Chain A
Amino acid sequence: MDSREHVPAMLEPFGRVLRKHPRVNEQLNRAMAPFENSAKVLLFSCNMCGQCLLHENGYTCPMNCPKQLRNGPCGGVRMNGHCEVRPEMECVWLKAERRSRYLPGRYLFVRLHAPLDWRRKGSSAILNAVAGFPGDVKANEKE
């Protein structure tokens, strides 16, 4: 699994530049991250993990789950659908599952996701996607 799968092929030269020149990447990130951050926080209460899964989870940020699960709900969801840790909040995954039915990318909801690469936390997920990053454990293997 590669982060580049949903990025238009047109942007590949740009991605190559980003991979080749970490300083360019860094500067662009600094410029872009605050805007991306504020927009996604306002719209989806994003947590800026840097490896966006919004499009796969019905535009619900899984990092709002107190356990920060990225592969679906834990076994502790309450009978009323609320979170076991924060009883006043609806389980993030219930919301994601419901919303994904009406939004594009439902077929992606059942995919296996790699654990987060914590080095990317706080950086721009869009740039990361364009640049491409090792998607998961399995991808690491190939390198």
Chain B
Amino acid sequence: MTMIPAESYRGRLERALRSGRPVVTCEIGSPDGTDPADVRKRAKLVRDYVDAVNVPDNTGGVVHAAPIAACAILAQEGIDPILHMTCRDRNRMALQSDMLAANLFGIRNILCLTGDHMIHGDQPQTKPVYDIDSIALIDVANHLTTTGTYLSGRAIKPPPDLFPGCAAAPFAPPYEYRPVRLGKKVQAGARFVQTQIVFNVDRFREFMGRVHDLGIDKKVPILAGVAPIRSVKAATFMRDEVPGMEVPDRLVRRMEAAGDDKKKREAEGIAICVEIIEEIRKIPGIAGFHIMPIAWESAVAKISRDAHLQPATAAPRPPPEAPVPAPIAVPVSAASVSPVRGT
């Protein structure tokens, strides 16, 4: 493991978002055990295709290793991590101290979320905290950075440098209120937006239209969430069990038609994802994509190849090589004669 100086990775996401080129981020599963090699392995699968990598915070209310550790490992590897922070498990004191802890590790991007309720998780008897909400959490991150003080007003020496972001949920009612709520988040200090997974592009287009009318896409970059569907089971699960996600039946039927063969259905899932990306590209106001491969990190490479996604901070791709010229049918004897220079 080689240590990379802090300056070279801090703010890579911000640099990418400021570059004006489309940005790609993706999510990797948070470690379900204590093996750091597992995090490195997942990171290696995606690192060349993205500008920054998200690590979720106990998604679905199921306990995993704290994402801050995984993010610290990513930072050591020279990847700019995006730390998910939820209000479910910690009160405002713990959240502030975790933000500073994150900064100590070289993590600066923080995605502020309300958090999935534990009722859907494996330990539903837990006491929910929800001391503050996601918008207040954005405000806290912004407060720490811009004022250099804790919420109490006590000075932080030296103050943290955080880059708070937020999520958007275009697929949960009340649909007409969602863009306004996004505006509230931006007003509170969110500096980038990652949306829920888009399967229903029509609804997303409507949402983005309203966001555009409100001028929000001018203020913050919005990354559209996309995900490959792995199987019919995954599709129906997302449709029926995950609130806030909308999977049109059309897509479920397409997955059914692809059959049971693993290779075929995975290829179909990726093809659907690529099609959705192509459609979202036409919507004005999108600054990039956020790929959520849901424990299928190897799909990221395929998706970015098929959809021609490229990290904004990567060196521009070399121009396609000139096709290898066909051998010229010239007699050997003629070739050996040196060309006659104009005299």
Contact = CB atoms under 8 A, between A and B. Distances in A.
A85 B117 contact: yes
Interface string B130-174: 111111100110010001010111000000000000011100111
Contacts of A114: 136
Q: Which of A69, A70, A72 has the most CB of B within 10 A?
A: A72
B172 A141 contact: no
A141 B147 contact: yes
Interface of B: 87-88, 92, 114-117, 119-120, 128, 130-136, 139-140, 143, 147, 149, 151-153, 167-169, 172-174, 177, 180-181, 183-184, 187-188, 196, 243-244, 246
B184 A94 contact: no
Contacts of A113: 135-136
B136 A115 contact: yes
B187 A112 contact: yes
B140 A97 contact: no
Given A75-B167, A114-B136, A140-B151, A69 B114 contact: yes
A36 interface: no
A38 interface: no
Q: SS class of chain A's interface: helix, strand, loop or mixed?
A: loop
14 contacts: A66-B117, A66-B128, A67-B88, A67-B114, A69-B114, A71-B134, A75-B167, A75-B168, A76-B244, A110-B184, A115-B133, A137-B140, A140-B153, A141-B149
Contacts of B135: 71-72, 112-113
B173 A141 contact: no
A81 interface: yes
Contacts of A91: 173
A77 interface: yes
A70 B88 CA distance: 14
Given A112-B184, A141-B143, 15 more contacts: A66-B119, A67-B88, A67-B115, A67-B128, A71-B135, A72-B177, A74-B169, A75-B167, A75-B168, A78-B243, A81-B174, A94-B174, A98-B174, A112-B187, A116-B131
